[in-house]
């Protein structure tokens, strides 16, 4: 059989494009902000992870420009060899200090960070206990490690304990969880995870991509939020969200960081973060440290929107405080149609479809920024409510709408 037969058989994207409802790859024409220009029209941006609103901050932009002039556009090699800059070292030092850990190592992307940490720290004689709703990069990192992966039900501590109880005591054990789950906005039950880890001799790793800059009095993330910074062994995070750049990091005890730096193939064999990426992340970190009111403003605007959507009768996932607010749209077709109409009305959101959700439980994911204003959010809430409260709930009626629009 031809290897590319699967490519020929994949027609779903073309079908959605033909119907005029393909929801992906809309092109930005301006910098990421609370309002953007996309494909010639103003859109209210509530579909990005620019949590602290720093991607357009003049200080961050100038730091990137300065780094380009000082160090050039790239490093032409891995950190292991010629690719280490003084900026990388300073960024790692300040991140470790801020997150109250001994050491830090940075990676070129957030996805690569999980691949690099997990594949180095776990091996064939180890067990990885993985929340079922963890990010895809955690799953891929576990596969790359060749450790045995044991999945537990989402945020279900009884299920986790059952699986820890039956684990081979001779094997190393690592519990990995998202701090904030990217689709639902759930916060992990970190206190119970830490308790179980101590009881059964496991280590704890938290993917805090969506927790850093969001949770905790100073924005240090999920561990700070629960007062458990000394009890989490490994924390990873990304620069592409609160830190307004691209890349990722790991903080842990120095001996653990040194091991990963010398054993992680995704770290050793990948070019380092570009000078501008490192410099912009460092500047964003310094702004967060000097302006700790930003995380509070972020949670305040999230609360305002959550209450506004509920007041309009919309069915949201509301068991969290974070700036990720999913709204149930149920069927795949209704979800994509909702995103299309919202986009046309000037509001950008993200569809969440299977396998990211169970069949029949599709969502539109909305996410917010500390610089969003209540006035702008009122406009977005009114549009979302008008669209979702008038859009048919059954696929047959939705298809009829599409047929009419194509006549």
Q: What is the set of active-site residues?
A: 182, 210, 241
Phi first, then psi, for residue 197 (nearest 5°) are -60, -45
Phi (first) and psi of residue 162, to 5 degrees: -55, -40
Q: Helices H, strands E: what count in the chain?
A: 16, 13
The secondary structure of 235-259 as a DSSP string is EEEESSSTTSSS-EEEEE-HHHHHH
Please tell me the number of Cα atoms within 13 Å of 387 on its side-chain side: 26
Write the DSSP string, 169-215: TTSEEEEEEESB-TTT-PBP-HHHHHHHHHHHT-EEEEE-TTTTTTS
Query: Contact at 8 Å (CB) between 369 and 334?
Result: no
Long-range contacts, stretch 348-351, CB < 8 angstroms, 24+ apart: 348/26, 348/36, 348/38, 348/43, 348/44, 348/45, 348/46, 348/47, 349/46, 349/47, 349/384, 350/47, 351/23
DSSP 160: H
- What is residue 357's three-state secondary structure? coil
């Amino acid at each position: 059989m031809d290897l590319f037969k699967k490519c020929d058989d994949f027609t779903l994207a073309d079908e959605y494009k033909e119907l005029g409802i393909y929801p992906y790859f809309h092109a930005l024409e301006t910098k990421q902000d609370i309002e953007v220009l996309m494909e010639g029209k103003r859109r209210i941006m509530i579909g990005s992870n620019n949590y602290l609103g720093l991607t357009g901050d003049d200080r961050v932009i100038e730091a990137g420009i300065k780094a380009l002039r000082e160090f050039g556009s790239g490093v032409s090699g891995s950190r292991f060899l010629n690719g280490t800059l003084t900026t990388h070292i300073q960024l790692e030092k300040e991140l470790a200090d801020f997150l109250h850990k001994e050491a830090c190592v940075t990676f070129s992307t957030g996805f690569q960070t999980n691949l690099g940490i997990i594949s180095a720290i776990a091996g064939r004689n180890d067990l990885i206990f993985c929340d079922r709703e963890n990010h895809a990069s955690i799953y891929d990192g576990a596969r790359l490690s060749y450790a045995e992966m044991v999945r537990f039900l989402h945020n279900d501590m009884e299920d986790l304990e059952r699986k820890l109880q039956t684990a081979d005591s001779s094997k190393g054990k690592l519990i990995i969880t998202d701090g904030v789950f990217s689709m639902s906005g759930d916060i992990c039950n970190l206190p119970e995870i830490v308790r179980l880890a101590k009881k059964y001799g496991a280590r704890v790793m938290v993917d805090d991509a969506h927790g850093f800059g969001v949770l905790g009095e100073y924005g240090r993330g999920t561990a700070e939020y629960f007062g458990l910074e000394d009890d989490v062994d490994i924390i990873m995070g990304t620069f592409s969200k609160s830190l307004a750049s691209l890349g990722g990091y790991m903080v842990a005890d120095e001996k653990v960081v040194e091991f990963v730096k010398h054993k992680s193939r995704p770290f050793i064999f990948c070019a380092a973060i570009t000078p501008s990426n490192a410099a912009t992340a460092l500047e964003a970190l310094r702004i967060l440290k000097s302006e700790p009111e930003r995380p509070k403003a972020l949670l305040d605007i999230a609360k305002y929107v959550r209450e506004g959507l509920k007041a309009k009768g919309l069915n949201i996932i509301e068991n969290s405080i974070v700036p990720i607010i999913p709204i149930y749209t149920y069927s795949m077709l209704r979800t994509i149609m909702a995103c299309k109409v919202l986009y046309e009305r000037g509001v950008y959101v993200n569809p969440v479809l299977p396998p990211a959700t169970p069949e029949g439980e599709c969502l539109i994911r909305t996410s917010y920024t500390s610089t969003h204003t209540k006035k702008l959010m009122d406009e977005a809430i009114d549009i979302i409510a008008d669209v979702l409260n008038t859009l048919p709930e059954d696929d047959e009626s939705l298809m009829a709408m599409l047929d009419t629009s194509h006549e």
